[in-house]
Amino acid sequence: MQTFTEKYDLLGCIQCGRCTGGCPVTVRADLNVRQFVNDAYDEDKLEELAKLAEIWDCTACHTCAVRCPKGLKPLEVLIGLRTMIVESGKVEPTVRDALQSVLLEGNPWEKSRATRSDWMEGLDVRIADPDEPVENLFFVCCTIAYDPRVRAVAQNMVKLLNKAGVDYAFLPEDESCCGSEVLTLGEEGLFEMQVEDNTEYLNEFKAERIVTLSPHCFTTYKTHYPDLKTPVVHYTQLLVDLLNDGKLSWKGELPKKIVYHDPCYLGKQGGIYDEPRELLKSIPGAELVEFERRRERSLCCEGGGGKMWVESESKKERLSDTRIKDAKELGAEIVAVACPFCVLTLEDSMKGLGYEEEMRVAEIMELLGELMET
């Protein structure tokens, strides 16, 4: 069995500190990931390190991995320490319930599998069949399927695909969580099981590509599913292709100042920065403005890394609050995102700051959906 040092290549670290220097969470919590990488070398210290509350502050944004000159993934040390806690059974009840829900119902939101496809009600949706070849096989995501706030992402996608005459199919309610949050919460065994089950299930379909609506599913499938036979794309990539082929057009106008927030899982982890911007630029009347901290330097919203189920102990300003204040300073009327978690965290901050009258947070598919209807 590999030691901690071997598993995370700790000897490759030169203690340059770029990981901690780039970590957005350091301004909010006492997280010093370089120190963890340094201390985890001593196997006798691991148990003590795993007890430190800071290991749960990491949002798995991957900035540290992007910045590390030695190609290490410092966040994985923190996740490895979380795994020790998960294996000891001493996790927070919220985390325990989310993990159990994934095991029993295929989603972390404690919802019944039988209701996973309820979002399709009233829509003309083509359902995937393993015997019928399809170009675009859609994977919805647990959050979009169950959370009424972001369901419109999937619903508008169906309307758009029907209108554009695209060959597509959505998975039935057998679709199961990709494991993104399970992995970052440290439940290694459950994640391995998910990879095996989802690979077997998805490989049954004859699709040219799998299209994910959430960047979390996109990155997880691309990075952690080595035996998946079908290539995976994010929906913004598909829509830009459709746009360039002349298959998409908007009826209405949206004369608003829009700023785009790069979701960490789509940008820093997936390398997709241009496609969401191209979609926003295609909106008639819209003016796209940019955050100073954008693309590889984008600020994290703190929604990833299992943080939806872990309360932060820090009383300092939330990064999502900072982001919304930055947007207000830019005069943005819409903060556009391409991730369901970013919608939830940023909208919560926008409401908390009392900016509802002058600003809105919207997933790109929400905006495009409105333009189809007008």
The residue ranges that bind ligand SF4 (CB under 6 A) are: 13-19, 22-23, 25, 33-34, 37, 58-64, 67-70, 72, 74-75
Shortest separation between residue 266's beta carbon and ligand SF4, angstroms: 15
Minimum Å gap between C-beta 5 and ligand SF4 is: 13
Instruction: Tell me if 340 sits within 8 A of 347, measured CB to CB.
Output: no
Length of the chain: 374
**Residue 170 dihedral angles phi and psi, to the nearest 5°:** -100, 145
Give the Cα separation of 319 and 57 in Å (integer): 12
Amino acid at 236: T
Nearest 10 degrees: CA dihedral of 308, 41, 2, 225? 30
The span from the CA of 295 to the CA of 271, in Å, is 9
Nearer to ligand SF4 by Cβ, of 75 and 259: the residue is 75
Kindly tell me which of 12 and 130 has the beta carbon lying closer to ligand SF4.
12
What token pair was written down for 122?
Answer: 């009233």
Whether the Cβ atoms of residue 144 and residue 364 lie closer than 8 Å to each other: no
The b-or-e profile of 176-202 (16+ CB within 10 A means b, else e) is bbbbbbbbbbbbbebbeebbeebeeeb
170 or 291: whose CB is closer to ligand SF4?
A: 291
Nearer to ligand SF4, 68 or 254 (CB): 68
**Distance between CA atoms of 326 and 318, rounded to whole angstroms?**
13
The span from the CA of 117 to the CA of 291, in Å, is 36
* Cβ closest to ligand SF4, residue 58 vs residue 272: 58
Could you tell me the smallest distance in angstroms from the CB atom of residue 81 to ligand SF4? 12
CB of 24 to ligand SF4, least distance (A): 6
Q: Which is nearer to ligand SF4, 59 or 136 (CB)?
A: 59
